[in-house]
Amino acid sequence: MFSPSASGFRGAAFACALALAIIPGIARANDEFRSEWFGFGSEVKASWRIEAMPNDNMRVIVRPKWLAEEHVKRRIVVLYPRASSAYNVAITEILHVFEDKQVDVEFHVINFDRKDDKGKASIREAEAMNANMIISMGSESTAWLWDNYRGGKLPVVTVCSKDPVTLGQANNYESGSGTNFAFTSLNMPIDSQMTYIIDLMPELKNIGILVDKTNVSAMETQAKPIADYARKKGLRPFMLAISRPENAAAELRTLVREATASMQKSDVDLTQSMFVVTGSTSVFNEIRTINREASRIPVLSLVPEIVQAGDDSAAISIGISFESNAHLAAVYASEILTNAAAVKALKVGIVSPPDIAINFKRTRAIGLKVPFSFFEAASTIYDPAGKLIRSPSVVVSAKQ
Amino acid sequence: MQAAYTIHRRIVEGLTSLVVCGLSLILLLYVGNGTAKQNYEEIYIEKLLSQGEIMKSAIEARLRSGLPLRQFVGFASAAEPIMTSDNSIAGIAALDSGGQRVFAAGDKKIDILPQASVFRDYRGAGELRSSDQFFQLVLPLDNKFENVGKLLITVTRAAIESRVESDIAWLAKIGALAAFAFGAFVFLFGPKLAHTRTPWIAICYGAIFLAISGLLVSTLITLYADGVRGKADALANSLAKRLDDVVLANINFDDVHGLDKVFVEYKRLNPDIRAAALTVDAKIVSHTDPNRQGTRWIIRDDYEYAVRINPENASSEVKVIVALPKEVVYRRVVRSVKNFAALFVASGFFALLFMDLAKSVQMVSARNVARKENEVEGESALNLVKPVYFLAVFVENLSYAFLPQYVKGVVDSAGMSANFASTPFIAFYLCFALALLPAARVERKFGARALISTGLLLSCVGLLTMFASADYYHILAARIISGIGQGVLFIGVQSYILAVTTHENRTRGAGIIVFGFQAGMISGMAIGSLLVRNLLPSGVFAMGAAIAFAALVFLLAFVPRIHLVETAQRNIVSLRETWSDLKIVLTDGRFLKTMLFVGVPAKAVMTGVILFALPLLLAKQNYLQEDIGQITMIYAICVIVASNYLSKLSDLRGNTESILFWGTILSGIGLVIIAAFTWDQLAKPLEFGSWMTIVVIAGVAIVGIAHGFINAPIITHVSDSDPAARIGAGTVAAMYRFLERIGHSVGPLIVGQLLIHWNFKADVLGWIGLAIILFGFMFLIKKSPAKASHIEMKGAA
């Protein structure tokens, strides 16, 4: 019933490392609290009390410090399938949003370790404690809950989960699920994603899609839809799929070099071609190799975090970050808790506009002009000198 | 015999002239001040919105990138230029979603005004709230996910008003000087000028009124132009704010593309601007016209607003330039000044009235000296009753601009069905009509002056009831009382005029009703809509009641009684006798054809075409509501002007039949001309002042003039009929007034049906015009076919 892929673990490992690198203060443990699987931003402790259960190391309780215990009327059970730095980012953002909104709620975070019996026990316990909601953390939890708790008593809000429409969990993006599930998505709908890509390069002819063949979800929710869309629109897709992640660098070197040469036949100055890096850890881990072999062809990432300072970065990224997705999920959860919205009526939550990150050092190096609308909407920008000038925590505020 | 000019009389006349001139100018400047505040506020609020958008977009750009509102560090630098450039702004603040103040600039103690104070709702894009002290723009602050707070920009009302008042204050001083000069002029030269044929005093009075009006208009133009230019300046700043991020981010404009889309979109959202561009060392990088890219910015005869977006010490100069055509400023200013027209006309009517009043009071004064009793029975009595009727109509119309919304608000807040909202209006018109015939009977017993007094008293009571209570049923009762009051007053004034006029000046007398009705209506609606902003509905009702009471006092003090012997019978006749009277008039051919072919169609055209169909058709052609109102006002003015002239002519020539005939024919021609405004060659969506508008105005003016041919002479005409000799002229006139209501009622009904049948094409008005022309000929032929060929347009020459 439950079969986690190897690529899932690899992705988690990379994301974990990445998140630890880019998000200041994310901690796996500290003096008062230690957990093998539950991490959070250190600033969370200022407003939340994190308590480990002495008899159950797969459970954590998070209580608001600003409210006396007797005043906390609501409970949310958060179901983790395993450890992931992405989940650390997500839970941190969720706690921030609930703190901002001053919602009286405590969180019971349970790692069910992708085991049916533990999962079912968690659901029973949630109902028994009169929890108000379950937050499903990650695609694995969402898939399991969809199979085992669809139509259940408690509302479920998904976070850090892949596109429910592509996965067949939701019928469309326009209406609610009609069930006890309110979905959010880490993926942009393909039409929307491609509209941004065409805006970036209106004369696009060739599109190289870089993916790990063994990463099923990246293949199904990103690579194949892009290729199908490209064919429909008369573009020439190059499916550049590595087959052995451990040999990614070598495979990518060959694949990208050959694709570049092939693209140049129809696009001599390489101004109408683009490489798209999907959310495959083994692929985006090799961004330096990809950049080197891509020549002047822009490399666009679907994972916002791949745009970083310096040259080892995608030129631009268009996607949804864990943080943004978690923020939207928290807003959904808050609306359901406060009866501002009905769970079955909430349409699939997709962050719009998406998170855009731009590295002007890379764009200038390859001669790519960025649409002004991207510049205005970007949440992360590195200037031509590689300096971070805009991010959720950095703002250029006054004239120099 | 001329009354002797004693020093006492000269002082009285000099003082009277000073007061009359002063009152006229005070009213003129009051309405000028009111309309200037209203328009300047509008323009100022538009500017405020643009400034608010600058701040909002600066903050939201960061919120969308994921920054919590509390961590936005650019608030002070974004607020500072706005605060510095406009000292009316008391404070700018940002609140979080919980309503806590996160940032503030200026007065940090100003709280968000309560939700109940929403003055204007921009449908999700923000609200304008108001209190006695402030206007407050409340704009939502959103990130990618939800609303996270509010931006407040608070403006001190007094600061906006003082800008207007300082401009009007110097005019007030000039006005005061002019009034004193006029008083002195009359004191010094009055006796001498009384013997000249040229009405120098009236000319001098008119010249002063027009000169101050001219100065007022010129002040309004300066004021509005400043406001419009301020808005354009804010627009330029908003564009600069969007683009200066590129400079702040150390990025070249070569690194981005799609700026042309920004400029094209900017022009689409602000169609008034001629061009906007981004220039680097005067060379265009991006322009609202993409073909201009790479060329140099050309300076035209526009208002140009340039904002430098890179530091002063930078090697190159990066600017955002917005060009606003001067004609846009002129057009906006002209529109605002044009909207002052109704108030100017209203002030003019009052000025005329004050002058007439002064003349009448002087005549009374002179009578006391000269002891010439007979003069009182004539012109001065007419002149004295004229302001009474004008004021009675004026007070009734003071609330018409806001009464429908007011009643609807009462109905809504009482949780009643929306259908109840129209009942007070129906009740008013029904009671007005039903009061006409009984009033005529009562007049025989108690006299016209008593009826006028009763009418004024009832109007006063009706308005006081509206002032005292906002209960729906009290409002209904008030409207019933006012309806009866206006009906009674109408018959009283009409009977009074018939009694004090001779056969030779009867039409002129009836013209007073036309003047009073039309001028009172225009003035009341125009001034009422201005007053309600400051006084609120209850204040307007109170003021109306006070004016009605003052008119009553004036009536009792100055308007002479008339001898009841002149009003035919003294006893109140029974209902059966009324029915018998009605049969007499309805079996009289002359009365019947006058009513059916002239009177009723004229009233039906007024209500059905001018007041009902024309506004609908003009709105369909995208005319603004204010333009439609002004076109309707032209009708009323033409009625007044034509009526004044035709009344005299009618009394002079005595041939009311030919005047009515030509009035009917002209009315038909006017309608045919109005119908022309959808002809293909004219049916372009042109603006006020275009050919299409000129055609409509010409048509409406002709219909107005035509009705000036009809409204007063028709009373003389029916009063001269055979039934008048049997049952009295007053009764016949009252019967006619009652029966002409058929036209009032069926006009919108018939025209509405025809419009639906003809799919709302203006052609239908042309067919109605042809039918009216046919009625005109039937009016002649049916009565005396043998004479028809001899009809000459004596009266209309």
* B364 or B295, greater pLDDT: B295
Q: Residue B532's closest CA among B376, B688, B670, B405? A: B405
Alpha-carbon gap, residue B605 to A227, rounded angstroms = 70
Q: What angle do CA A157, A159, A164 make, to 5 degrees?
A: 80
Q: Is residue A36 located within the same domain as residue A72?
A: yes
CATH label of the domain that carries residue B122: 3.30.450.20
Q: Is B8 exposed, middle or buried (0-12, 13-18, 19+ CB in 10 A)?
A: exposed
B-chain residue closest to A363, CA distance = B255
Q: Is residue A39 located within the same domain as residue A144?
A: yes
| DSSP sequence for B46-75 | HHHHHHHHHHHHHHHHHHHTT--GGG---H
Alpha-carbon gap, residue B574 to B441, rounded angstroms = 8
Closest Cβ–Cβ partner in B72, B96, B262 for A372: B262
**Predicted local confidence at residue B178, as pLDDT:** 93
Q: Do B251 and A373 touch (CB under 8 A)?
A: no
Residue A227, φ and ψ in degrees, nearest 5: -65, -45
Q: Are B218 and B174 in contact (CB under 8 A)?
A: no
**Predicted local confidence at residue B782, as pLDDT:** 56
- pLDDT tens, position by position, B113-126: 988 778 777 777 88
Which of A360, A376, A382 to mutate to probe the B interface, most B CBs <10 Å? A376
Q: Residue A246's closest CA among A21, A17, A10? A: A10
Alpha-carbon gap, residue A17 to A15, rounded angstroms = 5
What tokens were used for A51?
């308590």
What tokens were used for B437?
């015939």
Whether A380 is in a domain gets the answer no
Alpha-carbon gap, residue B52 to B234, rounded angstroms = 9
What residues of chain A lie within 8 A of the CB of B246, using their CB?
372, 375
Q: Do A324 and B64 touch (CB under 8 A)?
A: no
Whether A233 is in a domain gets the answer yes
Q: Is A371 on the interface with B (CB under 8 A)?
A: yes
Q: Is residue A168 located within the same domain as residue A293?
A: no
Q: What is the crossing angle of helices B472-500 and B506-558, to 10°? A: 120
pLDDT confidence tier of residue A299, bands split at 50, 70 and 90: very high
B-chain residue closest to A102, CA distance = B98
What residues of chain A lie within 8 A of the CB of B74, using their CB?
395, 397-398
Alpha-carbon gap, residue A295 to A261, rounded angstroms = 10
Q: Is residue A268 located within the same domain as residue A303?
A: yes
Q: For residue B650, how far is the Cα from the chain centroid?
A: 31
Whether A388 is in a domain gets the answer no
Amino acid at A400: Q
The total of structural domains in chain A comes to 2
Residues 6+ apart with CB under 8 A from B292: B275, B277, B284
Alpha-carbon gap, residue A152 to A161, rounded angstroms = 19
Judge whether residue B688 has pLDDT over 60. no
**Predicted local confidence at residue B707, as pLDDT:** 92
How many CB atoms within 10 Å of residue A366? 16
Q: Is residue A255 located within the same domain as residue A285?
A: yes
Alpha-carbon gap, residue B209 to B175, rounded angstroms = 9
What tokens were used for A67?
């409210």
> Is residue A111 classed as helix, strand or coil in its secondary structure?
strand
CATH label of the domain that carries residue B492: 1.20.1250.20
Q: Do B144 and A353 touch (CB under 8 A)?
A: yes
What residues of chain B lie within 8 A of the CB of A387, using their CB?
250
What distances in angstroms separate CA B584 from CA B578, B590, B715, B778, one per listed residue? 10, 11, 17, 22
| DSSP sequence for A37-49 | S--EEGGGGGTEE
Amino acid at B1: M
Examine the fold and report which residue of B302, B332, B362 is the final residue of a domain before the chain moves on.
Answer: B332
Judge whether residue B797 has pLDDT over 70. no
What range defines the domain where residue B125 resides?
A: 31-162
Size of chain A in residues? 400
* A350 or B513, greater pLDDT: A350
Average pLDDT over residues B157-175: 88
Q: Is residue A176 located within the same domain as residue A206?
A: no
Smallest CA–CA separation between A244 and chain B, in Å? 36
Alpha-carbon gap, residue B744 to B572, rounded angstroms = 28
Examine the fold and report which residue of B301, B332, B363 is the final residue of a domain before the chain moves on.
Answer: B332
Handedness of CA B8, B9, B15, B18 (dihedral sign): negative
pLDDT confidence tier of residue B794, bands split at 50, 70 and 90: very low
What residues of chain B lie within 8 A of the CB of A388, using their CB?
none
Whether A141 is in a domain gets the answer yes
In chain A, residues 125-184 whose CB comes closer than 8 Å to chain B: none
Residue A358, φ and ψ in degrees, nearest 5: -130, 135
Smallest CA–CA separation between B64 and chain A, in Å? 7
Residue B701, φ and ψ in degrees, nearest 5: -65, -40
Alpha-carbon gap, residue A277 to B500, rounded angstroms = 99
Whether B316 is in a domain gets the answer yes
Judge whether residue B605 has pLDDT over 50. yes
Q: Which of B455-464, B533-542, B716-725 has the lowest mean pLDDT?
A: B716-725
Q: Is residue B493 located within the same domain as residue B634?
A: no
Q: Which of A187-201, B417-431, B471-485 has the lowest mean pLDDT?
A: B417-431
What tokens were used for B198?
């040229």
Q: Is residue B612 located within the same domain as residue B486?
A: no
Q: Is A3 on the interface with B (CB under 8 A)?
A: no
Q: Is A305 on the interface with B (CB under 8 A)?
A: no
Strands B127-130 and B134-142 turn out to be antiparallel
In chain A, residues 185-204 whose CB comes closer than 8 Å to chain B: 199
Q: Is A390 on the interface with B (CB under 8 A)?
A: yes
CATH label of the domain that carries residue A26: 3.40.50.2300
What residues of chain A lie within 8 A of the CB of B144, using their CB?
324, 327-328, 351-353
**Predicted local confidence at residue A50, as pLDDT:** 92
Q: Is A395 on the interface with B (CB under 8 A)?
A: yes
Q: Is residue B612 located within the same domain as residue B731?
A: yes
Whether A381 is in a domain gets the answer no
Closest Cβ–Cβ partner in B61, B72, B248 for A376: B61
Closest Cβ–Cβ partner in B68, B248, B257 for A400: B248
A&B contacts, CB < 8 Å: 106
Q: Is residue B450 located within the same domain as residue B597?
A: no
Q: Is residue A305 located within the same domain as residue A328?
A: no
The total of structural domains in chain B comes to 4
Q: Is A386 on the interface with B (CB under 8 A)?
A: no
Alpha-carbon gap, residue A172 to A163, rounded angstroms = 10
Smallest CA–CA separation between B142 and chain A, in Å? 12
Whether A83 is in a domain gets the answer yes
Whether A373 is in a domain gets the answer no
Closest Cβ–Cβ partner in B248, B256, B262 for A369: B256
Q: Is residue B261 located within the same domain as residue B385?
A: no
What residues of chain B lie within 8 A of the CB of A327, using their CB?
66, 144-145
Closest Cβ–Cβ partner in B71, B77, B144 for A324: B144
Q: Is residue A169 located within the same domain as residue A84?
A: yes
Q: Is residue B425 located within the same domain as residue B561?
A: yes
Percent of chain A at pLDDT > 90 equals 62
Handedness of CA B288, B289, B294, B299 (dihedral sign): negative
Q: Is residue A181 located within the same domain as residue A197?
A: no
Whether B23 is in a domain gets the answer no
Give the count of alpha carbons within 13 A of B641, CB side only.
13
How many CB atoms within 10 Å of residue B2? 9
Q: Is residue B618 located within the same domain as residue B564?
A: no
Q: Is residue B661 located within the same domain as residue B779?
A: yes
Strands A133-137 and A74-80 turn out to be parallel
Alpha-carbon gap, residue B430 to B424, rounded angstroms = 10
- pLDDT tens, position by position, A215-269: 887 888 889 999 999 999 999 999 999 999 999 999 999 999 999 999 999 999 9
Smallest CA–CA separation between A392 and chain B, in Å? 4
Q: Is residue B495 located within the same domain as residue B593?
A: no
Q: How far apart are the first and last CA of chain B?
A: 34
Q: Is A377 on the interface with B (CB under 8 A)?
A: yes
Q: Which of A105-114, B258-267, B358-367 has the lowest mean pLDDT?
A: B358-367
Q: Is residue B727 located within the same domain as residue B746?
A: yes
Q: What angle do CA B504, B711, B665 make, to 5 degrees?
A: 105
Whether B208 is in a domain gets the answer no
**Predicted local confidence at residue A4, as pLDDT:** 38
What distances in angstroms separate CA B241 from CA A371, A400, B124, B309, B395, one per listed residue? 18, 15, 23, 8, 51
Average pLDDT over residues B672-679: 77
Whether B350 is in a domain gets the answer no
Q: Is A350 on the interface with B (CB under 8 A)?
A: no
> Is residue B170 classed as helix, strand or coil in its secondary structure?
helix
Alpha-carbon gap, residue A338 to A333, rounded angstroms = 9
Q: Is residue A179 located within the same domain as residue A42?
A: yes
Judge whether residue B2 has pLDDT over 60. no
Q: Residue A360's closest CA among A351, A345, A372? A: A372
Q: Do B249 and A355 touch (CB under 8 A)?
A: no
Whether B588 is in a domain gets the answer yes
* A28 or B32, greater pLDDT: B32
What range defines the domain where residue A238 resides?
A: 190-319
What does the DSSP 8-state code read for residue A302? S
Examine the fold and report which residue of B540, B572, B604 is the final residue of a domain before the chain moves on.
Answer: B572
Helices (H), B249-317: 259-269
Residues 6+ apart with CB under 8 A from A345: A176
Q: Of A262-276, B409-423, B427-441, which one has max mean pLDDT?
A: A262-276
Q: Is residue A168 located within the same domain as residue A216?
A: no
How many CB atoms within 10 Å of residue B16? 19
Percent of chain B at pLDDT > 90 equals 20
Amino acid at A347: K
Closest Cβ–Cβ partner in B62, B64, B256 for A370: B256
Q: Do A395 and B74 touch (CB under 8 A)?
A: yes
What residues of chain B lie within 8 A of the CB of A389, using their CB?
248-250
Q: Is residue B608 located within the same domain as residue B715?
A: yes
Q: Do B66 and A392 touch (CB under 8 A)?
A: yes
What residues of chain B lie within 8 A of the CB of A324, using their CB?
66, 144-145
What does the DSSP 8-state code read for residue A349? B
Q: Is residue B107 located within the same domain as residue B79?
A: yes
What tokens were used for B545?
């009641």
Q: Do B250 and A352 touch (CB under 8 A)?
A: no
Q: Do B64 and A385 touch (CB under 8 A)?
A: no
Judge whether residue A336 has pLDDT over 90. yes
Q: Is residue A166 located within the same domain as residue A19?
A: yes
- pLDDT tens, position by position, B43-84: 888 888 888 887 888 788 778 777 778 777 678 877 887 887
What residues of chain A lie within 8 A of the CB of B98, using their CB?
102
